[in-house]
Structure 1
Amino acid sequence: MVVIQKNQFERYVKQYGGLVITICFSFTRNYFDAEDIAQQTFLTAYKKLNRFDGKNFKAWITKIAVNKCKDHIRSSSRKAEKLTCEDYIYIEDLKNSPEENMLANYSIRKIYELCNKLNEPYKTVAVNYFCRDIKLSDMARNTGENLKTLQTRLYRSKKLLKILWEEELI
């Protein structure tokens, strides 16, 4: 048995690292898996250096890499379930993107700002209706005001908000 020094093993890792990753990638077709298996290959080689006969490190490390790849391919944790088209509806992501969330929050804040610029009684109706999602019928019941009066105030507040919105754009 030949004893390999630590610095010699480091040179082998640098020399054959690309080869081992290439071998692993040819088996897995996944770069991240190939990197993991290459790392496992060199770790195993380091632990088993006492078994190396000292003749051909390249052949020895290649054999370890191939065996690690075969083990990976056979492993049950690697097996993926095949999904049918119907299965995808159960995993569909219905969440908004960060950009959509940011725009929605911006719009809500902007509407609230514009509603607060209105004078009473339009301000209260606009804030309750547009920002707090309170229906006019509920406002009428809670405040005791006439529903037709609230509808008129909402109509006028919409007109005023449109003017304020256009002024903001200019």
Structure 2
Amino acid sequence: MMIIQENQFEKYIKQYEGLVITICFSFTKNYFDAEDIAQQTFLTAYEKLNKFDGKNFKAWVAKIAVNKCRDYIKSPVKKMEDLTCEDYKYIEDTKSSPEENMLNNYSDRKIYKLCSRLKEPYKTVAVNYFCKDIKLSDMAKDTGENLKTLQTRLYRSKKLLKILWKEELI
């Protein structure tokens, strides 16, 4: 049995990391999985250093990598992740992209800012309707105001918002 110092082990990692990743990639065909398994390989090698005979570190760490890859291929996690390109077309992406989120947030803030510039009673109707998504019928129930009155205020709010929107563009 040979005792390897930590700084020697670091040298071995730098020297053989390319070899280990190549071995792992040849098994997994996925670079990210190969990196993960390579990391597990070196962790296992470090934990089992007391079992290393000191003769050929390259062969020893390569054998650990091969065994880690075989374990990975047999694991149920690997079997769950295998999707074909055909499978992916049946997965619906319901989330907005980061760009869409940013534009929506910007638009929401801009609309709120414009609605806030209106004077009462148009401001309240516009903020509730456009920013809080409250229906006019619900506003009428909550405030006790006539639905027709609220519809008129919303109509006038829209006209005023169009003017403010154009002013923002200039």
Flag whether TM exceeds 0.5 (same fold): yes
Cα distance in 2, alignment partners of residues 163 and 94 from structure 1: 35
The count of corresponding residues between Structure 1 and Structure 2 is 165
Which runs of structure 2 are paired with 1:60-139 in the superposition (5 Å)? 60-80=60-80, 88=90, 92-139=92-139
Asked if the contact 2:41–2:68 (Cα under 8 Å) also holds between the matched residues in 1, the reply is yes
Residue 161 of structure 1: how far off its partner (Å): 1.3
Asked if the contact 1:115–1:161 (Cα under 8 Å) also holds between the matched residues in 2, the reply is yes
Cα distance in 2, alignment partners of residues 77 and 145 from structure 1: 61
Cα distance in 1, alignment partners of residues 118 and 37 from structure 2: 66
TM-score (norm 1): 0.70
Residue 162 of structure 1: how far off its partner (Å): 0.7
Which runs of structure 2 are paired with 1:1-170 in the superposition (5 Å)? 3=2, 5-6=4-5, 8-46=8-46, 47=48, 50=51, 52=53, 54=55, 56-80=56-80, 88=90, 92-140=92-140, 142-145=143-146, 147=148, 149-170=149-170
Unaligned runs of 5+ in 2: none
Residue 19 of structure 1: how far off its partner (Å): 1.4
Residue 52 of structure 1: how far off its partner (Å): 2.8
Unaligned runs of 5+ in 1: none
Asked if the contact 1:41–1:61 (Cα under 8 Å) also holds between the matched residues in 2, the reply is yes
Cα distance in 1, alignment partners of residues 25 and 9 from structure 2: 22
Identity of aligned residues (%): 72
| SS at 2:133 equivalent | coil
RMSD: 3.4
Pick closer, same or farther for the CA change 1:116–1:94 going to 2, 3 Å: same
Asked if the contact 1:52–1:60 (Cα under 8 Å) also holds between the matched residues in 2, the reply is no
